[in-house]
Structure 1
Amino acid sequence: MAGAAAAGSHAGDDLSLPFAVEALDVRGRVVRLGPALDAVLARHNYPPAVSRVVGEAMALTVLLGSALKLEGRFQLQTRSSGPVNMIVVDFDAPDRVRACARFDAEAVAAAAAAGETATGALLGNGHLAMTIDQGSHASRYQGIVPLEGQSLEECAHTYFQQSEQIPTLVRLAVGEEMTLQSPNGRYYRAGGLMVQFMPHSADRLRQADLSPGDAPTGHQIAAGVEDEAWNEARLLAETTEAHELLDPLLPSEQLLYRLYHERGVRVFPAQPVREACQCSRERIMGMLGGFSRQERADMVGDDGRIGVTCEFCSRHYDLDPGQVEAEIAAAALADSDEGGERDA
């Protein structure tokens, strides 16, 4: 689905726009997703309720992942007890995003019939993991946030408060645009806004301490004092409404001007985003190499072949078992030879 020709696409779609309001010591990004999101949802033909949750997850992932420099992967993954029991979104810097979800179709239909389609209700209880992998030259980092029926916005706020300790506000929105150009008459859009308080002084980053729990009778818990600049930036960002994040006729630059023109907002070059799967035959072979020979033998179907289908893009790999074993053996031998040369 080409960006320029896709049904319902607009010039400001599939972009992450970084910005800064230096007078308030805040930085952030605005994300608009159009064809990239719609390509993912159309391929899997998710129910509307699932599509909205996947759209929110993709917008949040691009907001966070587009901060990576040059290379690296940011992954958002949920595992939970609700009707939508798993979502995985990968962002490969600088611009590739892919996503998939697993769900109980009957449970989703029942939730939709009961009007219980809020993100928290569909996810239920479990956890959300955010993983940053910037290659062999840097340590892999993972932050985990409990899912207890809250929205993805609230999960993001908890993540930054507990793991990064950076005051952060996130806004997410997903909507449908009716269009005759789309086969099903619908076209999905998503938007996101993230504002972070990043002053030069570390003292200004201090937030209120977490409650100590059962404090002795009469003990006074000190109330945190919020920085005035952050308080102003946060309150302004909180006025952002869903339709503003989704309106194709409201450029991201104009939205930021609405919010922060009195303080002077500066935007940086927009970063394009595209839907693209990273699967390949080489990666599939690497995955199969992680199984034992007997496990690979158990994968052979009635047709005498090993079939692997990518959950993200639905591409099917039809593999000859004998060739698989030969390639895995050759790769193992090559790794052994390289290890011997290093030891020597």
Structure 2
Amino acid sequence: MDAGSASEPRTITPAGDDAVLPFQVLGLDVRGRAIQMGPALSTLLDRHDYPLPVSKLLGEAVVLTVLLGSSLKFDGQFILQTQTDGPVDMLVVDYRTPGDLRAYARFDEERLAALEAEGTPDPADLLGKGILAMTVDQGTHTSRYQGIVSLDGSSLEDVAHTYFEQSEQIPTTVRLAVAEMMTREDGGVAHSWRAGGVMVQFLPQSEEEERHRDLPGGDAPGGAEADEEDADDRWVEAQSLISTVEDHELIDPDVTTERLLYRLFHERGVRVFEPSRVQDKCSCSRERIEGVLRSFTAEEIEQSIEDGRIAVTCEFCGLAYDFNPAEFAN
């Protein structure tokens, strides 16, 4: 955001698709982040050609990871991973600052087909029971932080609420939406994915509240107590406003992130900040994989050989790497 001179209005770069937009609502003592995803999400999901329910579930996990990972104030990595007994027994989304994303889902085709035969599966049914781990990695010379919450038939939105309640103790509400889009293009039908999300957190000890805490109540009679708005009432109002957001508003390209935030909070005064981009970018490399292979024992190397070569395919991006076993001879 360009501040400009004292006489000039501030100019803000529109967020557009695949950009996280931080915002603050001083009147409610809340802050948050919002995003609409388009091309980056389509690339992530179409690469694997997952069944529709799996793609939608992974899309929700991607949006949630972006909303959480984009809050990192340092160079690092945020990883969201599920391990469950459901048809989709693993989701992994990896966010690396300043905005590199990769994602992967593992599922049981037979169990998924059986669930689809009964109707459109609910995300909670796809996940089943297990755990969701959120890991913050600041690099080689620092300790990892990991928060773990149970998955017991709840949606990813509900799990996020539980995570912040247990691990961060910050009142938080999250809305996520993912949709498969079909549009007419050059006489045919073009397929794409869109998603959106908004996360709001309540900060009752914000600088703005501290600044105005001791102001008198104006025309109140002497000795009368000021009639202050209860902090919980502000949070209830913020939650109520977020609950009015419909899925189509989160994904509609005609309802930009800025427009959505204005619709929600204009009466309370919403301030947005410079957006940050996210992109589909895997962190795999030949050097990284070679380093892993060099940590293998001779027996493990032998077990990895097929047709005289060692072939490794990245589960995230699908890139294949080929190695000569002789490179790892002891």
* TM-score (structure 2 length as normaliser): 0.85
CA apart distance, 1:32: 1.2
Farther off after superposition, 11-20 or 146-155? 11-20
Unaligned 5+ residue runs, structure 2? 1-13, 210-229
CA apart distance, 1:288: 1.6
- Is 1:160 matched up with 2:164? yes
Q: What secondary structure does 1:28 align onto? A: strand
CA distance in 1, matches of 2:137, 2:96: 10
Q: Quote the residue 1:279 is aligned against.
A: 284
Q: What secondary structure does 2:130 align onto? A: strand
- Is 1:64 matched up with 2:68? yes
Farther off after superposition, 181-190 or 162-171? 181-190
Q: What secondary structure does 1:44 align onto? A: coil
Q: What secondary structure does 2:126 align onto? A: helix
CA apart distance, 1:293: 2.1
Q: Quote the residue 2:33 is aligned against.
A: 29
Structure 1 residues 59-87: Cα deviation after superposition (integer angstroms, max 9, x where no partner): 00000011112410000001111111111
Is the 1:306–1:321 Cα contact (8 Å) retained in structure 2? yes
CA distance in 2, matches of 1:59, 1:201: 26
Q: What amino acid is the match of 2:139?
A: G
CA apart distance, 1:199: 2.4
Farther off after superposition, 176-185 or 104-113? 176-185
CA apart distance, 1:138: 3.6
Q: Percent identity?
A: 56
Farther off after superposition, 283-292 or 250-259? 283-292
Identify which of 122, 126, 138 aligns with 1:118. Answer: 122
CA apart distance, 1:173: 0.3
Is the 1:129–1:143 Cα contact (8 Å) retained in structure 2? yes
Is the 2:261–2:270 Cα contact (8 Å) retained in structure 1? yes
CA apart distance, 1:11: 7.5
- Is 1:105 matched up with 2:109? yes
Structure 1 residues 91-148: Cα deviation after superposition (integer angstroms, max 9, x where no partner): 0011101101000112212212212511101000111100000113542100011111
Instruction: Count the aligned residue pairs.
Output: 295
CA distance in 1, matches of 2:126, 2:185: 30
What is the correspondence of 1:213-252 to structure 2 with a 5 Å cutoff?
227-252=232-257
Higher relative contact order (CA 8 A, sep 6+): 2
- Is 1:19 matched up with 2:27? no
Q: What amino acid is the match of 1:293?
A: A
Farther off after superposition, 167-176 or 108-117? 108-117
Farther off after superposition, 49-58 or 64-73? 64-73
Is the 1:72–1:132 Cα contact (8 Å) retained in structure 2? yes
Is the 2:182–2:189 Cα contact (8 Å) retained in structure 1? no
Is the 1:306–1:318 Cα contact (8 Å) retained in structure 2? yes
CA apart distance, 1:186: 2.1
Identify which of 53, 59, 71 aligns with 1:55. Answer: 59
Identify which of 281, 289, 314 aligns with 1:310. Answer: 314
CA distance in 2, matches of 1:311, 1:181: 31
Identify which of 253, 258, 277 aligns with 2:258. Answer: 253
- Is 1:38 matched up with 2:42? yes
Unaligned 5+ residue runs, structure 1? 1-9, 205-224, 330-344
- Is 1:142 matched up with 2:143? no
CA distance in 1, matches of 2:149, 2:296: 30
Q: Quote the residue 2:215 is aligned against.
A: none
CA distance in 2, matches of 1:109, 1:185: 26
Q: What amino acid is the match of 2:287?
A: E
CA distance in 2, matches of 1:112, 1:71: 41
Q: Quote the residue 1:263 is aligned against.
A: 268
Q: Quote the residue 1:300 is aligned against.
A: 305
CA distance in 2, matches of 1:11, 1:67: 16
**CA root-mean-square deviation:** 2.1
Q: What amino acid is the match of 1:321?
A: P
Is the 2:29–2:206 Cα contact (8 Å) retained in structure 1? no
CA distance in 1, matches of 2:238, 2:323: 55
Distance 1:65 1:11, change over 3 A: closer
CA distance in 2, matches of 1:21, 1:228: 14
Is the 2:21–2:273 Cα contact (8 Å) retained in structure 1? yes
Structure 1 residues 271-290: Cα deviation after superposition (integer angstroms, max 9, x where no partner): 11100110001110222233
Q: What amino acid is the match of 1:39?
A: T
CA distance in 1, matches of 2:117, 2:163: 32
Q: What secondary structure does 2:47 align onto? A: helix
